Amino acid sequence: MSQPMQHSPQQEQRRDFLKAGTLVAGMTLGPGVLFYGIAHSRAPEEAASSAKRYGMLIDASKCGDGCSDCVTACNTENGLSGKTGPQDTQYIRKLNIKDLRTNHVQELPMLCQHCENPPCVDVCPTGASMKRADGIVLVDRHICIGCRYCMMACPYKARSFVHEPLTDQNPEVPRGKGCVESCTFCVQRVDRDETPACVEACNAKGHQAMVFGDLKDPNSAISQALASHASTEVRADLGLNAGVRYQGI
């Protein structure tokens, strides 16, 4: 017959310590893990989520006279030459708009409008032109055959064709001769939870004319700005539900 095992006071103490330690550690790490799960940027292998829709709000009344910092930042981020010949790529450009009746002049940046119903995606024969689940419209450089039909179809003239061989590319933004390309909302930055380069440059300049964020999150800055001020889409008549909205035009 063996005696039931008796725990020594030291053992009891150790057990209590472990219990308390686990509790404290759990309380310390748990919320972090939980919040990380909610707020972390996407892992590379994780697919974009349709729970989000990225969009941009541009306030033309805040867009600086003659300022082109957004264009410069875009060119730097995406490895574009910055040349403005008829065959050169431009992801974002400044438009000067003059009202024919009042002669009122405005400036605003024009870029891919990341439509919900993008004509470029509809017409692409191979599916290279595509919309990510989170609303970002991209060109898959692996299956673009360079037919340029998407450029015919885009109402915003947002796309460019790479007319000549490229050197010194940004490794994060692979481009290639013979393919079509356009603004990606700096998808490489968005996937790291950063804002597009143009928005960052506009804020750095102090103009605050561009707001980027999740249109599906009612608490995001862009959703709140859209809810509180009138905004418009360019060529709203086409029913494309553009992801880029404008104020002050």
Asked whether position 236 contacts another protein by CB under 8 A, the answer is no
Q: What would the x/- binding string for another protein be over residues 95 to 134, using CB under 8 A?
A: xxxxxxx--------x--------x-xxxxxxxx------
Asked whether position 66 contacts another protein by CB under 8 A, the answer is no
Closer of 173 and 249 to another protein (Cβ): 249
**Least distance to another protein, CB of residue 142, Å:** 8
Say how many C-beta atoms besides its own lie within 10 A of residue 10's C-beta: 8
Amino acid occupying residue 176: G
Say how many C-beta atoms besides its own lie within 10 A of residue 186's C-beta: 25
**Least distance to another protein, CB of residue 109, Å:** 10
> By CB neighbour count within 10 A (0-12 exposed, 13-18 middle, 19+ buried), where does 184 fall?
buried
Pick one of 147, 191, 203, 241: the residue that binds another protein (CB under 8 A).
147
Asked whether position 238 contacts another protein by CB under 8 A, the answer is yes
**Least distance to another protein, CB of residue 245, Å:** 15
Asked whether position 156 contacts another protein by CB under 8 A, the answer is yes
**Least distance to another protein, CB of residue 34, Å:** 40
Asked whether position 173 contacts another protein by CB under 8 A, the answer is no
* Nearest alpha-carbon partner for 244 in 92, 139, 71, 127: 92
- 131 phi and psi angles, rounded to 5 deg: -115, 125
Q: What is the residue whose two structure tokens read 């989000």?
A: 52
Determine the interface stretch with another protein among 8-16, 171-179, 188-196, 219-227 (rule: CB under 8 A).
Answer: 171-179
Query: Which residues, 6+ apart, have CB-to-CB distance to 30 below 8 Å?
Result: none
Query: 88-108 burial, b if ≥16 CB within 10 A, otherwise e?
Result: ebbbbbbeeeeeeeeeeebbb
What's the CA gap between 159 and 55, in Å, rounded?
18
Q: What would the x/- binding string for another protein be over residues 175 to 214, using CB under 8 A?
A: --xxxx----------------------------------
What DSSP letter does each residue of 36-83 carry, written as one string? HHHHPPPPTTSPP-TT--EEEEEEGGGSPTT--HHHHHHHHHHT----
Closer of 21 and 127 to another protein (Cβ): 127
**Which residues sit at the interface with another protein, rule CB under 8 A?**
84-90, 93-101, 110, 119, 121-128, 143-149, 151-157, 159-165, 177-180, 234-235, 238, 249
